[in-house]
């Protein structure tokens, strides 16, 4: 039994976020709601953030759990939150795209590399920040595969 890593219901567009905590919690909750992880995974996402920020630059953050969070993960999954107004992600950084990641058996590394490839080009980031439909975002991810 496998699940789509990024189904449409894991994407939220035009979200207003108050702070980094809300951004991480929301990205994690999408993974919990979709059955990808236990609720405890969200705590591991916050633990990970304490070790080192998951802000990647270029308005992109990729909150994910610590290495010992593996037991909380049932399926590899990705959540995407588009926050065009941006949210303060700590250290003076602004995130407009938040990718919540849960990986089973190191599959998160593959997911991370796709995000890195997509987000390495500013025009792609702009396209994702300004995407008006979930399908538009999904299409961009399919192009990477």
Dump pLDDT digits (tens) for 66-119: 988 989 999 999 999 999 999 999 999 999 999 999 998 878 788 888 899 999
Given a contact cutoff of 8 angstroms between Cβ atoms, the answer to whether 97 and 125 are in contact is: yes
Task: Identify the pLDDT of residue 21.
Answer: 98
Q: Is residue 1 part of a domain?
A: no
Q: Is the pLDDT of residue 1 over 70?
A: no
pLDDT confidence band for 23 (50 / 70 / 90): very high
Q: Is residue 47 part of a domain?
A: yes
Q: Is residue 56 part of a domain?
A: yes
Q: Is residue 78 part of a domain?
A: yes
Q: Is the pLDDT of residue 145 over 70?
A: no
Tell me what percent of the residues of the chain surpass a pLDDT of 90: 84
Task: Identify the pLDDT of residue 67.
Answer: 87
State the CATH number of the domain containing residue 76.
Answer: 3.40.930.10
C-alpha dist (Å) from residue 42 to 9, 24, 73, 87, 90:
18, 8, 11, 19, 18
The parent domain of residue 34 ranges over 8-144
Angle in degrees, 0-180, between the axes of helices 122-130 and 107-119, rounded to the nearest 10: 100
By annotation, the residues acting in catalysis are: 64
Q: Is residue 14 part of a domain?
A: yes
- Say how many domains are in the chain: 1
């Amino acid at each position: 039994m496998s699940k789509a890593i990024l189904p449409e219901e894991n994407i939220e567009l035009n979200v207003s976020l108050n702070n980094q905590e809300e951004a991480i919690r929301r990205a994690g909750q999408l993974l919990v709601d979709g059955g990808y992880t236990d609720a405890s995974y969200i705590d591991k996402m916050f633990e990970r953030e304490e070790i080192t920020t998951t802000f990647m630059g270029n308005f992109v953050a990729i909150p994910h759990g610590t290495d010992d969070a593996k037991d909380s993960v049932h399926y590899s999954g990705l959540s995407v939150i588009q926050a065009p107004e941006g949210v303060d992600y700590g250290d003076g950084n602004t995130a407009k795209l938040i990718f919540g990641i849960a990986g089973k058996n190191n599959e998160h590394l593959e997911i991370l590399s796709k995000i890195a490839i997509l987000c390495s080009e500013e025009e792609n980031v702009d396209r994702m920040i300004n995407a008006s439909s979930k399908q538009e975002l999904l299409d961009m991810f399919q192009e990477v595969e």
